[in-house]
Structure formats: structure tokens, C-alpha cells
Amino acid sequence: KLPVEFVWNPEFGRDPYAAYAALRKKGPVHPIEFPPGVEAFLVVDYEHGRRALNDPRLSKNPFEGPEAFRAILGQGNPVLAHNMLNSDPPDHTRLRRLVAKAFTPRRTESLRPRVQEITDRLIDAMAVKGHAELLDDFAFPLPITVICELLGVPVEDRDDFRRWSTALITPPFDDEQILLRVEANAAIRAYFLRTIAGRRAEPRDDMISALVLARDEEELLSEEELVSTLTLLLIAGHETTVNLIGNGMLALLSDPGQLRLLREQPELLPSAIEEFLRYEGPVERATFRFSTADMEIAGVHIPKRSLVHVSLGAADRDPGAFDDPDTLDITRADNRHVAFGHGIHFCLGAPLARLEAQVAFGTLLRRLPDIALGCPPDELSWRQDGSLIRGLRALPVRF
């Protein structure tokens, strides 16, 4: 069995792909002690990973999980447990339909001018300094401002949102982390209940008001599901697009040939973004599922109520699915990466994330034409908290 240290050590943080490649040579599925005390498995190839993401025997409902996992979940009223991402059909279908309208490619495209405006303002502030910490100065504020405006919550509250968001997605393995999680659960619930009450009294033209209407007039979702859906949408804007910008920028700035190519052929931007998603996707392992029956994956027996981690990062570096998987190639054709997942839970926000990334990368390269890393790549540090998200702690740049 792989020990928890497999995913929780500095070396893995620096280069998980080498560890995955060594593992993949032994087989696609491995038992792993993560979280500690929980019966869990790790899938590291593309074929079985992709299939697992869409296997109806693998539930997203955390209450279907192993006893030890439910005990962890019980530490704090789980505000994240009652939304589309953490449910199966028919609840999943109902909850996803309620917000899907807001995230269609066409509705999303209409946000482009506003995304451009926010991007330009952030770059204006950076440009005068000649250097920046790209995550705090740019990659965080951009998607957070967009999602706050979409939902209808004040962007001034974003420091609270970021703190709560981090507490809710960090694995709660020690007492301090458990406490932070319990507090974040209570705070975010109180925040949204207050906001919902405000919209009941005085509706506006925003997503919260629309969902309140769906709840009150058509009873399409419960109050708990409403709060949980808002929490999911808020968090989805925090740890994902942020790291697409950070990880993608690091990959690009570390590869002078690819950087030059993208500068010379800006029309490659959409395919470059798909390649950043494949090469260094942000949602590394935050795609776990729970077996609802005894089953087998690639000949490995998975008992009922096990936790199954599908590593998107490992799948997207599988040489069985991609030529030269460890090479960044912004011209890569037929890039069928799984960075946005696969199947019924495929990322609802993908059109928005792609739009934000197009505007972000396009504008950064155009307005800061000599942008470069502010330190050697090996001085950068990756989050190493057993996090299921792949992201840097900071990304200094100069221009």
C-alpha cells in the first residue's frame, strides 16, 4: 500500500509526474493510505481514470464514503456536501440544471468585455512597479472578481472568501485544520443565509436572486442546497483558474521556444491554454469518488465504500494517451485532456475558465512583452499540504 507520504512530501510537490510515471509502470491502480486510516485507491492512467470519472458505480456523494471519511466530514456541518458536485443523479441533474443556463458558452462570451476591463485594471496597477507576485496581484483577484460579480456578492469580502475557501478544501488532518474548517463552514453558511435573506426582501439582477426565486416559487431546491450551491460556485473560482494562470505562466516562462512561438502566433492562444491545462492542470486529484459496490478497476479489487482518487494530473501525462506527454507543446493537436473532468460532472465553469485564461494570457503577453520569472524555477515552492489542487505558493515575475 502506498503510504500517505507518497503524495505528501516536498519531492512529490515539486514533480508529481515522475512519481506517477514510476507508479504507472507497475500498474494503473494502487491502494493508498490517503487520507490516513481510509481505504483508498489511486488511479494513475488515462484510460481507467477517464472511465472511472463516468462510472455510475462510483458516487460523488460523500455520505457513500468510508466510515473514517464520513467521520472527517462530520467535523463541522459540511456546507459543501449538498451541491451538484457532491451528488449523484437525480439530485445532480436537478441541481446542475438550475445554474447551467448561466454558464453556457454564449452567456459566458458576453462577459468578455468586463473580464478584459478587470484584467487591464490589474495590469495597470502591476505595470508601474516593474515586478509583481503574479498570484496575489493578478491570478487571484481576476477570477474572484468575476465570480463575485456573477453571483452578486461584494468583491470587498474576498479576503474572507479566500480564507474560507482554503480552509474548506485543505484536507483536515490535524486539530488546527479541523478547527479552521469548522469555523469556515459556520461563517460561510451564516454569510450566505444573510445574503439570501437580503435578496428575499429586495431581489436584484444576479444569480443569488435567481436561485432564491427557484427555491421560493418553484421549490426546486432546499435552503441547504441553495447555500451549498453558492459555496461551490464561490470556491470554484478560487483554486482553479488562479492556478491555471499561475501554472500555465510558469510553464510558458520556463520554455523560451514555446514563449517565442506564442508571441509570434497569438492565434495559438486557445490551443496553448488547452496544453497548459493538460501539462499542469490545477485540479490534480480533487476528483475522488466512492464505490457503491464491490468492483474491479484494471483487475484491482475495490471493496464497497472505498475512496477512489482519480489523478487528472497523472492521466494527462500518460504516454498511452499523449505523445511526449512531459513536453509542453502549444500546437498539440487532438488534446483530449481531462483537466476539466469527464462525464456528468464535467466542469460547468469550463467556458468561463477558458475565457478568463484567454484574456489573462493574451493581455499579459501583449502589455508586458518582456515578462520573465522573478527567480529561478527551482526556487519556487509548490503547495505541499497533501492538497488535491496543484498550485504554486507564489510566482514572482518581473518586466
- Residues lying near ligand HEM in the complex (CB under 6 A): 53, 84-85, 96, 143, 147, 232-233, 236-237, 240-241, 244, 281-283, 287, 312, 339-341, 345, 347-349, 352-353
Identify which of residues 283 and 328 has a Cβ nearer to ligand HEM in the complex.
283
Contact yes or no for 273/358 (Cβ under 8 A):
yes
Q: How far is the CB of 287 from ligand HEM (least distance, A)?
A: 4
Phi-psi region of 37 (alpha: psi -120 to 50; beta: other; left: phi over 0): left
Q: Calculate Rg over the CA atoms of the chain.
A: 21
Identify which of residues 183 and 224 has a Cβ nearer to ligand HEM in the complex.
224
Identify which of residues 69 and 340 has a Cβ nearer to ligand HEM in the complex.
340
Q: How far is the CB of 127 from ligand HEM (least distance, A)?
A: 25
Which H, E and C letters describe the chain, residue by residue?
A: CECHHHCCCHHHHHCHHHHHHHHHHHCCEEEECCCCCCCEEEECCHHHHHHHHCCCCEECCHHHCCHHHHHHHCCCCCCCCCCHHHCCCCHHHHHHHHHHHHHCHHHHHCCHHHHHHHHHHHHHHHHCCCEEEHHHHHHCHHHHHHHHHHHCCCHHHHHHHHHHHHHHHCCCCCHHHHHHHHHHHHHHHHHHHHHHHHHHHCCCCCHHHHHHHHHHCCCCCCHHHHHHHHHHHHHHCCCCHHHHHHHHHHHHHCCHHHHHHHHHCHHHHHHHHHHHHHHCCCCCCCCCEEECCCEEECCEEECCCCEEEECHHHHCCCCCCCCCCCCCCCCCCCCCCCCCCCHHHCCCCHHHHHHHHHHHHHHHHHHCCCCEECCCHHHCCECCCCCCCCCECCCEEEC
Identify which of residues 85 and 196 has a Cβ nearer to ligand HEM in the complex.
85
Contact yes or no for 168/81 (Cβ under 8 A):
no
Identify which of residues 228 and 240 has a Cβ nearer to ligand HEM in the complex.
240
Would you tell me how many other CB atoms lie within 10 Å of the CB of residue 3? 12
- DSSP annotation string for 56-88: TTEE--GGGS-HHHHHHHTSS--TTTTSGGG--
Q: How far is the CB of 398 from ligand HEM (least distance, A)?
A: 25
Identify which of residues 307 and 348 has a Cβ nearer to ligand HEM in the complex.
348
Q: How far is the CB of 4 from ligand HEM (least distance, A)?
A: 21
Identify which of residues 66 and 143 has a Cβ nearer to ligand HEM in the complex.
143
Q: How far is the CB of 48 from ligand HEM (least distance, A)?
A: 15
Identify which of residues 281 and 325 has a Cβ nearer to ligand HEM in the complex.
281
Q: How far is the CB of 142 from ligand HEM (least distance, A)?
A: 11
Identify which of residues 185 and 229 has a Cβ nearer to ligand HEM in the complex.
229
Q: How far is the CB of 257 from ligand HEM (least distance, A)?
A: 24
Q: How far is the CB of 102 from ligand HEM (least distance, A)?
A: 9
Q: How far is the CB of 229 from ligand HEM (least distance, A)?
A: 8
User: What's the CA gap between 246 and 134, in Å, rounded?
Assistant: 7
Identify which of residues 211 and 283 has a Cβ nearer to ligand HEM in the complex.
283
Task: Give the residue nearest to ligand HEM (CB).
Answer: 349
Q: How far is the CB of 264 from ligand HEM (least distance, A)?
A: 25
